Amino acid sequence: MTAANLLEFDLEGLAAFCERLGEKRFRAVQLFRWIHQRGASDFASMTDLAKSLREKLSTAAHITPLKVLSRQDSSDGTIKWLFDVGNGDAVETVYIPEADRGTLCVSSQAGCAVGCRFCSTGHQGFSRNLTTGEILAQLWFAEHFLRAKLGGAERVISNVVMMGMGEPLQNYAALVPALKAMLDDHGYGLSRRRVTVSTSGVVPMMDRLAAECPVALAVSLHAPNDVLRSSLVPLNNKYPLAELLDACLRYLPSAPRDFVTFEYCMLAGVNDQPEHGRQLVGLLRQHAGQGIHCKINLIPFNPFPDSGLTCSDKATVQAFADQLLAAGLVTTVRKTRGDDIDAACGQLAGDVVDRTRVADRMGNLRRLTESPVIWANKGTVQ
Ligand code: SAH
Ligand code: SF4
């Protein structure tokens, strides 16, 4: 058997691995705590494990983190790492410190196949899914790096948002064990409310997540009607707004929070007009006749080269927020963090070898959506 990287396992997986080695399952708890709570990567340091087990582990297993290619520190305390995931691919992870929390923004894929118009990851194309170990290694590394930097034994990262590179629900099989390790009391012990999966709307996987590992849910909405949303988030062609919002309603009973967060990227002249606000209010208030318990998070568009888009100006963002607030929708405007190091939402591009030619398709898509026919439709309700 080839040696296993123990970062690939949630506790259940590690217990099964211990059994395969002829060890009792409970050994996995000790091992898991060493790895995730204490950041150990060397079996020799795990002094409360029997020597015979440590020897067995040293041939059958290893704990191998991702290689750090670079680290950038923003003037506002935000830190961005670029991790090598092999074969020319690299992914980014961002730590965002705030007074009452430390949030880690984690990547789930090298690139992204969804190809949203306003997202620099989407523009880069898709290379591959990250493994559970590669997702978890971002948290493992950041947590223990920050703990050492701050000189304490206290937990530093209190929140994880799956909002880095990639569409987490298009990498469901690897995502769920990683989430379970984040939530596990023997792992990072994060509450379900403090782990957020953000999705562009992979409807069937939203249902599976609700059943198998419900955590806080953020949905990237970005538009109040299907024509406009399909032009911004191509996945909308497969799972249009009515289906997406139904999936949100189905998710809520199992969600750890009693609302869904809708993300809405503010794009000048594209989705930020009073008519869009009016449509959005109508959509969210009346969906399925009952309205959806939600919060709206307006994200000022973070520009990147060749997007062909600009951010709505401050006054427009505020007017849009006021319009939603006046209609009774809880609305916040996201503060941009780490933009001096390109670590803000949608600026994460890492280094991806596009193996699906998404970037080519994106070029075609852009030509299409720039045609007057589609833009003329942008204000209509579907
Ligand atoms: N793929 C998932 C999670 C990663 S993107 C998703 O789309 O939800 C995280 C958030 O950043 C999403 O809401 C996304 O729409 C937003 N985003 C992407 N590009 C952006 C940009 N250039 N400016 C602002 N927000 C952006
Ligand atoms: Fe992928 Fe999310 Fe970017 Fe869209 S916004 S391309 S789903 S990472």
CATH number of the CATH domain containing 285 = 3.20.20.70
Supply the range of the domain harboring residue 18: 4-62
The conformational region for residue 4 under phi > 0 = left, psi -120 to 50 = alpha, else beta, is beta
Q: What is the pLDDT of residue 358?
A: 54
CA-closest candidate to residue 105, choices 180, 201, 36, 198: 198
* Claim to verify: residue 342 and residue 275 sit in the same structural domain: yes
Q: What is the pLDDT of residue 375?
A: 25
Residue 230 CA to residue 89 CA, distance in Å, equals: 28
Active-site residue set: 92, 345
* Claim to verify: residue 45 and residue 186 sit in the same structural domain: no
Q: For the segment 65-85, what is each residue's pLDDT rounded down to a tens digit?
A: 999 999 999 999 999 999 999
Work out which ligand 2 atom sits closest to the CA atom of 120.
3
* Claim to verify: residue 268 and residue 183 sit in the same structural domain: yes
* Claim to verify: residue 13 and residue 158 sit in the same structural domain: no
Look at the block and give the residue holding tokens 């992979």.
202
Residue 263 CA to residue 162 CA, distance in Å, equals: 13
* Claim to verify: residue 10 and residue 114 sit in the same structural domain: no
For residue 165, report the distance from its CA to the centre of ligand 2, in Å: 7
For residue 345, report the distance from its CA to the centre of ligand 1, in Å: 6
For residue 374, report the distance from its CA to the centre of ligand 1, in Å: 22
Pair of tokens at residue 172: 């469901």
* Claim to verify: residue 35 and residue 127 sit in the same structural domain: no
Q: For the segment 176-222, what is each residue's pLDDT rounded down to a tens digit?
A: 999 999 999 999 999 999 999 999 999 999 999 999 999 999 999 99
Q: What is the pLDDT of residue 364?
A: 43
* Claim to verify: residue 105 and residue 79 sit in the same structural domain: yes
What's the order of all strands across the beta sheet hosting 67-73? 67-73, 79-86, 89-98, 101-105, 159-162, 195-199, 216-220, 260-266, 294-300, 330-333
- DSSP letter (8 states) at residue 351: B
As for how many domains the chain has, the answer is 2
Residues with a CB atom less than 6 Å from ligand 1: 118-119, 163, 167, 198-200, 220, 263, 265, 299, 301-302, 345-346
* Claim to verify: residue 198 and residue 314 sit in the same structural domain: yes
Other Cβ atoms less than 10 A from the Cβ of 173: the count is 9
* Claim to verify: residue 51 and residue 117 sit in the same structural domain: no
* Claim to verify: residue 154 and residue 248 sit in the same structural domain: yes
Return phi, psi of residue 97, to 5°: -85, 140
Segments of the chain scoring below 70 in pLDDT:
1, 344-350, 357-382
Residue 122 Cβ contacting ligand 2 at under 6 Å: yes
Residue 234 Cβ contacting ligand 2 at under 6 Å: no
For residue 122, report the distance from its CA to the centre of ligand 1, in Å: 9
* Claim to verify: residue 57 and residue 71 sit in the same structural domain: no
Nearest protein Cα to ligand 1, atom 24 = 301
Q: Tell which of 62, 79, 102 closes a domain.
A: 62
Work out which ligand 1 atom sits closest to the CA atom of 112.
1
Nearest protein Cα to ligand 2, atom 4 = 116
